[in-house]
Amino acid sequence: MPATMTRSARPLRVLYAASEAWPLIKTGGLGDVAHALPNALHTLGADLRLVLPAYREVLRQVEDLQILGWLDLGDGSEARIVQAWHPAFEMPLWLVDIGELFDREGNPYVDPDGHDWPDNPQRFTRFSRAVALLGVDTLETGWRPDIVHANDWQTGPVAAFLHEMPQAPRSLYTIHNIAYDGQFDHATFEALHLPARWWSIDGAEFHGRFSPMKAGLMFSDRINTVSPTYAREIQTPEHGYGYAGILQHLRHKLSGILNGIDTRVWDPANDPHIAANYDCDSDLEEVRHLNRKALLEALGAEPQAAAARAPVIGFVGRLVHQKGIDLLIEAIPKLVRQTTVRFAIVGSGERRYQARLEQLRQRLPARVFCYIGYSEPLAHQLEAGADIFAMPSRYEPCGLNQLYSLRYGTPPVVRRTGGLADTVEHASPRALADGSATGFVFDAPTAPALAQALRQALRTRQDPVLWRQLQCAGMQRPLGWEQSARRYLELYRTILQDKRP
């Protein structure tokens, strides 16, 4: 029986729930995954519905809206469920429409000042309850999933709600980042009318607070995370953010599956955002020159300065402690004194890092180019225009930017952690000799260790033959979703065969 078929020989049905999905709404890698993985599962024959909150931004972009009905959320509120389509998705979208919670401008999690929306507990517990009700086909649409697949704390309570329902479908919970757990206090828990028995050590109570993340961990049939190394790391105090003990206890149902990337969206041969398209057979030196020039001009450099051949080290990402942006900021002045290198940085996040980058840019205008903000086109231009990609994350569940860098022939310099350790092959003398090297990996989460790895990358780049080999090794790696999507199908099938607890 093919992996996508259930016993009754119909396609496996998956209700995939997430709080963001590119291109409708995205703040980070979860958005990329919630777009590409459901599509990859569809290609493999699964029958899916992707369920999202009906944010204003999402409603604005979807087509063919059809009301499926109204769900009673059991706490005096209701959710309208809208089915819709969008060309980027191969399956219908189910949108949980609760106007007072989701019909607002801006970021799905934080207000314009960067603080969590104060009603996030209401927003995401109600969303989770709606997902669970759709999981048992409360609206009698005739479509009932075999598996409900939830992601991160925003949908952590889904499995807990399913646990309350007779003959619920089975569940998988994917941790994309254990450090963001969405916890709230007891008064909020009571105000939300959640089942009192959830408030226990075997439930979702976590050090005197309610943890949606813990709800997902405790009540799901299986848990996975987005790389094998991160699956091990979160069982240690250093990376477990308080959940190490729980995860050790639950390790029988925990596994790691690497993320893939959408190789159609991230394809240097067809990328509409970049100045010069290319593949591994191109004159990489020359196309890089054109793309580097376009990138630096887009970041405000004068054309003559942008046309210089000095290498560029790039960074794209959230400006937060996790990403080690402070290590890069610390390493820049010394590297600027020692080499001709320039830096291109695209990111948004904590004010303190934004301010330090702005200072660096003012102090070193010929060497540091930044865009503080979120820009999809610039992210693509940076992957194609930088010579080396820096990703000094303190921890990284999987990481997508290093994968985009590999695909764009921009060797990544990464710290040996999580998915970075699992996806980048360090340029040791041996790996360079046998052609398996794809980037540079360093260990200590310090600026000197990062600077040393960046200097090694710059030295290696001086040998054009070796550098091209390194670039092509990354570009030719199979980075798409197919293999990992198959692993998800296998995991779903395992769950269906597991005995109910």
Binding site for ligand ADP (CB under 6 A): 28-29, 32, 316-318, 346-348, 374-376, 379, 399-401
- Which 332-361 positions form the footprint of ligand GLC (CB under 6 A)? none
Spatial contact of 94 and 83, defined as CB atoms under 8 Å apart: yes
| Residue with tokens 């360079």, as numbered in its chain | 432
User: According to the binding rule CB under 6 A, does residue 226 interact with ligand GLC?
Assistant: yes
**Residue nearest ligand ADP by beta-carbon distance:** 29
CB of 469 to ligand ADP, least distance (A): 25
What distance in Å separates the CA atoms of residue 396 and residue 323, rounded to the nearest whole number?
8
Partner in contact with 379, chosen from ligand ADP, ligand GLC, none, beta carbon below 5 to 8 Å by kind = ligand ADP
Partner in contact with 34, chosen from ligand ADP, ligand GLC, none, beta carbon below 5 to 8 Å by kind = none
Q: Which two tokens stand for residue 54?
A: 């009906």
Spatial contact of 374 and 442, defined as CB atoms under 8 Å apart: no
What distance in Å separates the CA atoms of residue 226 and residue 71, rounded to the nearest whole number?
32
User: According to the binding rule CB under 6 A, does residue 397 interact with ligand GLC?
Assistant: yes
User: According to the binding rule CB under 6 A, does residue 182 interact with ligand GLC?
Assistant: no
Partner in contact with 317, chosen from ligand GLC, ligand ADP, none, beta carbon below 5 to 8 Å by kind = ligand ADP
User: According to the binding rule CB under 6 A, does residue 228 interact with ligand GLC?
Assistant: no
Given the complex with ligand GLC, which of 341 and 391 has the nearer CB atom?
A: 391
Given the complex with ligand ADP, which of 160 and 400 has the nearer CB atom?
A: 400
What distance in Å separates the CA atoms of residue 453 and residue 433, rounded to the nearest whole number?
18
Binding ligand GLC (rule: CB under 6 A), the pick from 19, 21, 29, 168 is: 29
Cis status of the peptide bond prior to 311, with omega within 30 of 0: no
DSSP string, 318-341: EESGGGTHHHHHHHHHHHHHHS--
Closest-CA residue to 26 (of 62, 52, 63): 52
What distance in Å separates the CA atoms of residue 345 and residue 348, rounded to the nearest whole number?
10
Strand-pair partners of 391: 414
Spatial contact of 308 and 314, defined as CB atoms under 8 Å apart: no
Given the complex with ligand ADP, which of 232 and 318 has the nearer CB atom?
A: 318
What distance in Å separates the CA atoms of residue 404 and residue 418, rounded to the nearest whole number?
16
CB of 114 to ligand ADP, least distance (A): 14
Closest-CA residue to 212 (of 236, 232, 192, 239): 192
**Count of residues for the chain?**
501
What distance in Å separates the CA atoms of residue 27 and residue 108, rounded to the nearest whole number?
8
Partner in contact with 386, chosen from ligand ADP, ligand GLC, none, beta carbon below 5 to 8 Å by kind = none
Binding ligand GLC (rule: CB under 6 A), the pick from 400, 437, 447, 450 is: 400
What distance in Å separates the CA atoms of residue 448 and residue 156, rounded to the nearest whole number?
39
| Alpha-carbon distances, residue 331 vs 16, 54, 282, 295, 435 (angstroms) | 41, 42, 32, 22, 29
CB of 404 to ligand GLC, least distance (A): 11
Partner in contact with 221, chosen from ligand GLC, ligand ADP, none, beta carbon below 5 to 8 Å by kind = none
User: According to the binding rule CB under 6 A, does residue 176 interact with ligand GLC?
Assistant: yes
Q: How many CA atoms lie within 13 A of 299 on its CB side?
A: 34
Burial of 355 (0-12, 13-18, 19+ CB in 10 A): exposed
User: According to the binding rule CB under 6 A, does residue 28 interact with ligand GLC?
Assistant: yes
User: According to the binding rule CB under 6 A, does residue 33 interact with ligand GLC?
Assistant: yes
Q: Which two tokens stand for residue 68?
A: 């499926």
Given the complex with ligand ADP, which of 179 and 218 has the nearer CB atom?
A: 179
Given the complex with ligand ADP, which of 273 and 468 has the nearer CB atom?
A: 273
CB of 181 to ligand GLC, least distance (A): 13
> Which of these segments, 29-37, 248-256, 294-302, 384-392, binds ligand GLC (CB under 6 A)?
29-37
Given the complex with ligand ADP, which of 6 and 348 has the nearer CB atom?
A: 348
Residues that bind ligand GLC (rule: CB under 6 A) add up to a total of 14
Closest-CA residue to 215 (of 120, 117, 129, 118): 129
Partner in contact with 226, chosen from ligand GLC, ligand ADP, none, beta carbon below 5 to 8 Å by kind = ligand GLC
Partner in contact with 346, chosen from ligand ADP, ligand GLC, none, beta carbon below 5 to 8 Å by kind = ligand ADP
Partner in contact with 107, chosen from ligand GLC, ligand ADP, none, beta carbon below 5 to 8 Å by kind = none
Binding site for ligand GLC (CB under 6 A): 28-30, 33, 176-177, 226, 259, 396-400, 419
